A = this chain, B = another copy of it.
């Protein structure tokens, strides 16, 4: 009888923003698997889990997903990840932990579909996204009444970000940290004032920043820009 794979969302950073279900599932799994961009790195997701669950004595397993420019390295990582998780499942239940929500920009969902195709049971436990947390921290609604919301990674072709900025009332631009000037140029072209944007960076970390949009400033790696064309900013 094989174990079950749980894709456990651990939320955006504050350990208390884990759900009660995530905590219970992690504490009852045999193995905790955590994604890593490089071998031996300190895992943000695992640190969150350590702060609000008791996992002493539990087996933890690193799952490597390098951000290598060479697609064959990424592909080989990915195949190893699926095979490692499958062999762990042959021994018991596995909680694979993910920052934010597991269904939003997470490699876990690829893994889950492949593990499921191999015949194992899988279940995803949802969590708080970084953009909901960012809006909460900024004290602004993300989307309200009959408005729409677009969530776009800056890594998308700029054309897509442009259309989102043009057609939507509320736009969340993710992975924006090194493209702030491109974003500012698009906003200028569309006549969207700078003060309709709020920047939410490294929330829950020591260098957290929640404040105005300044394309000349340096922001942290986890930087999200929330743009609200109809206002709704706290006075």
Contacts and interface: CB of A to CB of B under 8 A. Distances in A.
Interface of A: 7, 9, 11-12, 14-21, 23-24, 52, 101-106, 109-110, 112-113, 116-117, 122, 124-129, 132-133, 135-136, 139-153, 155-156, 160, 163-164, 167-168, 232, 234-235
A116 B235 contact: yes
30 contacts: A14-B21, A15-B20, A16-B19, A16-B20, A16-B24, A17-B19, A17-B126, A18-B19, A20-B23, A101-B132, A101-B142, A103-B140, A103-B141, A104-B132, A104-B143, A105-B144, A105-B145, A109-B140, A109-B141, A113-B139, A116-B234, A122-B139, A124-B135, A126-B129, A126-B132, A146-B153, A146-B155, A148-B150, A148-B153, A163-B163
Contacts of A155: 146
Copies of this chain present: 2
A198 to B, nearest CB: 12
A136 B103 contact: yes
Contacts of A145: 105
Contact of A148 (B141, B156, B235): B156
Contacts of A144: 105-106, 109-110
Contacts of A11: 19
Given A20-B23, A101-B142, A128-B128, 12 more contacts: A11-B19, A16-B21, A17-B126, A18-B20, A109-B141, A126-B133, A126-B136, A148-B150, A148-B152, A148-B156, A150-B150, A163-B167
A40 to B, nearest CB: 26
Nearest to A100: B132
A85 to B, nearest CB: 16
Contact of A142 (B17, B104, B152): B104
B132 A103 contact: yes
